[in-house]
């Protein structure tokens, strides 16, 4: 078995996956078990935090949209201070640290302090949401691209999204933390030319016991999220690959015929 390199005074940024403890990688589980202190986000599954040993220090640095328990500079300083004290530090992040995880700031803070820092990837929420729905994020001949977007970059920011690029009909959109932006997403995509009938899948609490799937079409996206609370992690999946399972195989067969015809 490969042994994880985790010397005292070092930091690992660890992907906790979407919440289900069984979706932790084996490497992530070994790093968490070896840590002296674990700084964890609000989106880290409660069962993962509850499984920490009593002797392990656990520090919540959770951030939800608009409700930050600590600012990023404070989190950076806490990580650096723990490592300088000779502790094995795990910074546990929901999903994958490299996907909308504010990882670059923490890497930079550690490196500036001369602290060795490494990354352990995790299962990102878009993958877990599609898996829970029994569907794919791409579809040969119909959905050739996958674009990951965070709702934090939706309207209201200084720089809005490039709706024309996002409206490409061959692209599957995975919009993280998308509940509050649902109406803006629907309007922006349709105005940019995306069909109002484009399939949509709203996934709430992906991989967790309370996981919910809400299917519909782009024109009804704002309505689909009305029963979802602000506190529930919500993924919006948009595109032809998200057609209902009963019709998706037909679409796949049609795309295969189209590709075969082009290859002749």
Q: What amino acid positions are annotated as catalytic residues?
A: 41, 63
Q: Residue 29 and residue 26: Cα distance in Å, rounded?
A: 5
**Residue from 125, 133, 134 nearest 212 by CA:** 133
State phi, psi for 142 to the nearest 5 degrees: -130, -35
Q: Indicate the length of the chain as a whole number.
A: 264
**Residue from 48, 110, 50, 44 nearest 75 by CA:** 110
The structure tokens listed for 72 are 């990023």
**Residue from 52, 51, 24 nearest 37 by CA:** 52
Query: CA-CA distances (angstroms) from residue 24 to 45, 88, 132, 157?
Result: 10, 19, 16, 33
Residue 104 burial (CB < 10 Å; 0-12/13-18/19+)? exposed
Q: Determine how many CB atoms are found less than 10 A away from the CB of residue 227.
A: 11
The structure tokens listed for 15 are 């992907």
């Amino acid at each position: 078995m490969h042994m994880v390199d985790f010397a005292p005074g070092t930091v690992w940024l660890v992907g906790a996956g979407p919440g289900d403890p069984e979706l932790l990688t084996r490497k992530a589980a070994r790093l968490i078990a070896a840590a002296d202190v674990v700084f964890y986000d609000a989106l880290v599954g409660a069962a993962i935090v509850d499984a920490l040993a009593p002797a392990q220090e656990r520090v919540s640095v959770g951030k939800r949209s608009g409700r930050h328990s600590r600012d990023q500079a404070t989190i950076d300083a806490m990580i650096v201070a723990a490592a300088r004290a000779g502790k094995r530090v795990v910074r546990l992040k929901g999903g994958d640290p490299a996907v909308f995880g504010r990882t670059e700031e923490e890497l930079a803070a550690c490196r500036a302090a001369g602290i060795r820092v490494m990354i352990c990837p995790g299962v990102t929420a878009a993958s877990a949401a599609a898996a829970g729905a029994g569907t794919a994020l791409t579809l040969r001949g119909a959905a050739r691209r996958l674009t990951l977007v965070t709702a934090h970059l939706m309207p209201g920011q200084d720089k809005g999204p490039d709706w024309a690029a996002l409206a490409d009909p061959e692209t599957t959109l995975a919009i993280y933390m998308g509940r509050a932006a649902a109406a803006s997403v629907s309007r922006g995509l349709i105005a940019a030319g995306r069909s109002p009938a484009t399939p949509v899948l709203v996934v709430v609490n992906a991989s967790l016991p309370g996981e919910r799937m809400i299917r519909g079409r782009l024109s009804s996206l704002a309505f689909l999220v009305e029963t979802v609370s602000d506190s529930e992690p919500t993924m919006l999946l948009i595109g032809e690959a998200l057609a209902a399972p009963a019709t998706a195989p037909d679409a796949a067969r049609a795309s295969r015929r189209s590709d075969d015809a082009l290859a002749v």
